[in-house]
Amino acid sequence: MLKGKNIILGISGGIAAYKCATFVRGLVKQGANVKVIMTKHAKEFITPLTMATLSKNPILVDFYNPENGDWNSHVDLGLWADLYVIAPATANTIAKMANGVADNLLLTTYLSAKCPVMFAPTMDLDMYKHPATLRNIEILKSYGNIVIEPTSGELASGLVGAGRMAEPEDMVAFIDSFFSKNNSLVGKKFLVTAGPTYEKIDPVRFIGNYSSGKMGYAISEELAKRGAEVVLISGPVSLSIDNPLIERINVESAKEMYDASMRFFPECDGGIMSAAVADFAPKVQASSKVKRGKDNMTIELVPNKDIAASLGSIKTDKQLLIGFALETDNEFENAQLKLEKKNLDFIVLNSLKDEGAGFGVDTNKIKIIDRNDIVNDYPLDSKRNVAGFIVDYIEKINK
């Protein structure tokens, strides 16, 4: 399963470095190409000769080879890799990664890497439990880095608790399942709408809403992570996204979002409508700034086109369409009505009554309702993980 995969292993200086011999052997046995970067301290725990022999590649420690002056390009390494695993990741290395410190090759490669990154925190119990370490691990997770969770047991210090690096066989299995999941949507293409729309009143004012776009961006990233191409049609948000599989089209108004969606949907295998599209727009957009008057002001609003319903009316049997419903009352009935009316395959229901769900926050709590009225209730989780639940469901329907 790992055949042809390019994996960089970054070893920092912890006693668990000795497990890297078996770990690299396992990766190579599964067909992976492995290059090993070691920090200076790592060399004190396991010899470069052992790692070079097992990985079948020279070990990289310095920015250049001291023997012949060859430059070890961290940029090239970062581009070469399909996966960068930092194991063991000591508290020191984790802290540096979280803060963008770039004082060795392991770290400069981390900063340059375009591929997914995994790290295996390994340290003594008290260091692991320290708020600084826990915060740094959270920061890395927020960058999308994946934790290979430490296991509990007796530590090198004699203390007992969490902080042991996972067993090499388990780490190989974890990576194997990561790649098999990652290839599951290769060859598929999805359209995702995200964020709010702005409906212009005059050159300086608009009608908008509080949508941050985080959910739609997380879904786009999850789809791309599994190998799908994504056309992300984004309203005005302050998020950035950098993935070669994701083409971002910036729009402002519901009309622009509608035009872009209608243009791209026919070439897609499915659409995920996570944007909070304004239902109405001012009938007239003033060409110069509207001045304050003494009287009340009335703005006449006209309805916008329903993008989801329009795509629902043109979708083929092979195309999927997924909508969202953000409700305050009669959640289930309203969501079901939208599912029918917009010809969706399933609808993701957020209730504003649930704490931690909805606009702006980093978490979400969803229910998925499908055409068979099956309701799947999910726990409160990060938008990244919720995106995983939604994409799992897309895969389950598998049109």
Q: Does 269 bind ligand CTP (CB under 6 A)?
A: no
Comparison of 54 and 223: residue with beta carbon closer to ligand CTP: 223
Among residues 209, 343, 376, 385, which one is catalytic? 209
Please say whether the dihedral angle defined by the alpha carbons of residues 201, 205, 210 and 216, taken in this order, is positive or negative: positive
DSSP code, position 305: P
Binder among 279, 354, 370, 392 for ligand CTP (CB under 6 A): 279
Q: Does 275 bind ligand CTP (CB under 6 A)?
A: yes
**Half-sphere exposure at residue 186, Cβ-oriented, CA atoms within 13 angstroms:** 6
Going by C-alpha positions, the residue among 11, 78, 1 that lies closest to residue 32 is 1
Q: Does 326 bind ligand CTP (CB under 6 A)?
A: yes
Binder among 307, 366, 369, 386 for ligand CTP (CB under 6 A): 307
Residue 72 · residue 60 · CB < 8 Å? yes
Binder among 27, 37, 207, 325 for ligand CTP (CB under 6 A): 325
- Minimum Å gap between C-beta 338 and ligand CTP is 5
- Minimum Å gap between C-beta 278 and ligand CTP is 7
Binder among 23, 324, 346, 393 for ligand CTP (CB under 6 A): 324
Q: How many CB atoms neighbour CB 236 within 10 A?
A: 16
Comparison of 60 and 272: residue with beta carbon closer to ligand CTP: 272
Q: Does 304 bind ligand CTP (CB under 6 A)?
A: yes
Q: Does 273 bind ligand CTP (CB under 6 A)?
A: yes
Q: Does 232 bind ligand CTP (CB under 6 A)?
A: no
Going by C-alpha positions, the residue among 395, 389, 384 that lies closest to residue 216 is 384
Q: Does 386 bind ligand CTP (CB under 6 A)?
A: no
Burial 248-257 (b: 16+ CB within 10 A, else e): bbebbbbebb
Q: Does 323 bind ligand CTP (CB under 6 A)?
A: yes
Q: Does 254 bind ligand CTP (CB under 6 A)?
A: yes
Going by C-alpha positions, the residue among 87, 89, 101, 98 that lies closest to residue 136 is 98
- Minimum Å gap between C-beta 191 and ligand CTP is 11
- Minimum Å gap between C-beta 340 and ligand CTP is 12
What is the phi/psi pair of residue 258, to 5°?
-60, -50
209 is catalytic: yes
3-state secondary structure of 301: strand
What is the phi/psi pair of residue 33, to 5°?
-95, 125
3-state secondary structure of 1: coil
Residue 251 · residue 216 · CB < 8 Å? no
Q: Which residues bind ligand CTP (CB under 6 A)?
A: 193, 254, 273, 275, 277, 279, 304, 306-308, 323-326, 338
Active site residues: 209
